[in-house]
Amino acid sequence: MRSSTAGKARKVKGEGETFATQVLEVVRKIPRGKVLTYGQVAALVGSPRAARIVGGVLFRLGKKSKVPWQRVLNARGMLSTYRVGCGEEQKKRLQAEGLRFNRQEAIELERYQWWPTARQLKAWRVDDDLAASIHQRFGW
């Protein structure tokens, strides 16, 4: 059996997929000018409480990576990356995509948060139960 820890993951893992590869698969699809929260990404790959791990995966991306890591931020619409030294870089990239930050250094999630289409969810093999639980949790 493949390492789907705790048996809580409801999203089916394809051959050779890990939590990390699934995270990157999701992040790569975030449209320019839109964002997802760490928790949202975690939920989409079937581990709704693994938000911290999403951050860890993105942290270990190489500088040359083409994955749009700047499009992932925390549940308050703020950047968690200042503490690891790339907050300014993330802010700069997001501003270049048209996002505006308020006085609290936050963006309006209601305005910029991305919700994948049903077609996209299917492509990621997110089953109906998981999709339903995500809808409920995030009021999507």
Footprint of DNA (CB under 7 A): 3, 5-6, 8-9, 18-20, 37-40, 47, 49-61, 69-70, 72, 74-76, 80-81, 83-84, 86, 90
Write out the two tokens for 74.
């925390």
Buried-exposed string 58-79: b where 16+ CB fall within 10 A, e elsewhere = beeeeeeeebbbbbbbbeebbb
Q: CB of 136: closest distance to DNA in angstroms? A: 12
Q: CB of 50: closest distance to DNA in angstroms? A: 4
Q: CB of 23: closest distance to DNA in angstroms? A: 8
Task: DSSP letter for 80, please.
Answer: S
| Closer residue to DNA (CB): 3 or 117 | 3
| Closer residue to DNA (CB): 24 or 131 | 24
* Contact of 108 with 77, CB cutoff 8 Å: yes
β-pairing verdict for 72-73 and 36-37:
parallel
| Closer residue to DNA (CB): 76 or 122 | 76
